[in-house]
Chain A
Amino acid sequence: MSYDRAITVFSPDGHLFQVDYAQEAVKKGSTAVGVRGKNVVVLGVEKKSVAKLQDDRTVRKICSLDNHVFMAFAGLTADARIIVNRARVECQSHRLTVEDPATVEYITRYISSIKQRYTQSNGRRPFGISSLIVGFDFDGTPHLYQTDPSGTYHAWKANAIGRSAKTVREFLEKNYKEEDMESDTDTIKLAIRALLEVVQSGGKNIELAIMKRDESMKILVQEEIEEYVTAIETEKEKAEKQKKKT
């Protein structure tokens, strides 16, 4: 008897197979990486190479939810669109009823509870996306949260989702240094270096968005990304030379 047909049925060993399969869908999506610095938060995504005739401005994987929160996702783009729309409305509803911008944790909780509702409804399937939500709260604290199709969410200092997320996460664990997070450039460089591990052909296939405290989200232009990439490569060469000498 197959337990993976209906979402509302547990398997004998306690799995909700549809949720597990949704997580598989996420693993097929393009990589996204997020880093929380002290004064800046960064989201980077792997840009799939677009066809020649396609206008690449319409393929945006990083979406702003409000002036102070934005998110990236991995998985089914169409599902993400729904979540992003609902979250945007909820951000404004919160501003209306509470007269304050929503905290990053609040909007993450909202998104997660939508996802969870879809794991418990009849006739619907779970959302096939994991998302990285970053931003600054009203009091200036930076946050990075990750949600997944089951509806759970956790706070992270740095994380990756999508294809090769494991490799990128291991790279982050090895190279994340608390002191580096004080500097905006180092935070951004960490995100780019992590992405470069898994992205083919370097800077061209990276899309990066940053937000400094009290400023709005900024999507970096290709030239700026190239600058960082060249800086990273020079540093790498220097490190190699050092190693060779010793």
Chain B
Amino acid sequence: MALSSVLQSESADFSFNNDRSFSFGCGLGQTDLGFGAAPGDRLNFSIKASLGPDDEDGPERKIEFLHGTTTLAFKFQHGVIVAVDSRATAGAYIASQTVKKVIEINPYLLGTMAGGAADCSFWERLLARQCRVYELRNKERISVAAASKLLANMVYQYKGMGLSMGTMVCGWDKRGPGLYYVDSEGNRVCGDLFAVGSGSMYAYGVVDSGLRQDLSVEEACELGRRAIYQATYRDAYSGGQVNLYHVHSEGWTRVSQEDVLKLHHQYQEQKK
């Protein structure tokens, strides 16, 4: 329902009048995006059936995917550091070690992925579309606050229907560095430091002890990298590589992608 109105409405005519009604649960099949797939087609990593909202046993999260993860982001004097791991698990099975958990919304906005991969990537791509339309209409870039608010409002309409998404919207706008945590429960919080996922507690420990406002760019990158590494060391559901991004006034830059095992050896050497 609300999805179609986001896709079609286009407040080019500022239509605040969403007096169109759609039947519950038909969702994606109805849109003109060509998704056409029936619920059964979805990629499953478990034997049990699909993830439709009409699931009898309640939202049992058959696709565990990215709740097992560590993603973090923090602000400092030179912008925002975003660091994520790259492991995807379905129960005890490691589905992938090379998942891209940072979504590049546009050249100056990043979104992280935690929860359901499909939910995160779909909604953030939709957010990218909305941001671009805003830019064209208002002849200036959208602010991080507004972008995160658009995302939060979009998913709030699906609250309670089984969306699983915990994302951090990071960017740089005319007010400086911006960092917001948005999730599928409808939370939207502004902050200086967030870590999301099963490994977040380990990451918080490292970042909290090393975070200062006056870090240099390299020091901040190393802090983010170390935090994710430590989380992958102790959390079974996080691992793979550490993907590091730095958001500054000109936009975001991909700083590094390093395998966790390599980092392990590196830090062991340093200890000696």
Contact = CB atoms under 8 A, between A and B. Distances in A.
Contacts, number: 25
A117 B13 contact: yes
B14 A114 contact: yes
B14 A99 contact: no
A97 B14 contact: no
Contacts of B14: 90, 110, 113-114
B30 to A, nearest CB: 25
Given A103-B138, A106-B138, A93 B146 contact: no
Nearest to B15: A117
Nearest to B150: A97
Given A90-B14, A117-B13, A100 B146 contact: yes
Categorize the interface residue count of chain B.
Answer: 10 to 19
**Secondary structure type dominating chain B contacts:** helix
B145 interface: yes
Nearest to A116: B13
A97 B145 CA distance: 9
Contact of A93 (B12, B16, B138, B143): B16
B146 A97 contact: yes
Contacts of A93: 16
B143 A98 contact: yes
A99 B13 contact: no
A112 to B, nearest CB: 10
A97 B156 CA distance: 13
A99 B138 contact: no
Contact of B146 (A90, A99, A113, A117): A99
A110 B146 CA distance: 18
Interface in B105-149: 138, 143, 145-146, 149
B153 interface: yes
Contacts of B146: 97-100
A135 to B, nearest CB: 16
B223 to A, nearest CB: 29
B62 to A, nearest CB: 34
Nearest to B140: A103
A68 B43 CA distance: 52
A98 B149 contact: yes
A113 B145 contact: no
A115 to B, nearest CB: 11
A97 B149 contact: yes
Nearest to B190: A99
A114 B13 CA distance: 8
Interface in A57-78: none
B177 to A, nearest CB: 16
Nearest to A106: B138
Contacts of B153: 97
A117 B13 CA distance: 8
A110 B138 CA distance: 12
B13 A100 contact: no
The 7 closest A-B pairs by CB, nearest first: A98-B146, A99-B145, A110-B14, A113-B13, A113-B14, A97-B149, A117-B13
Interface of B: 12-14, 16, 138, 143, 145-146, 149-150, 153
15 contacts: A97-B146, A97-B149, A97-B150, A98-B143, A98-B145, A98-B146, A99-B146, A99-B149, A100-B145, A100-B146, A103-B138, A110-B14, A113-B13, A113-B14, A117-B13
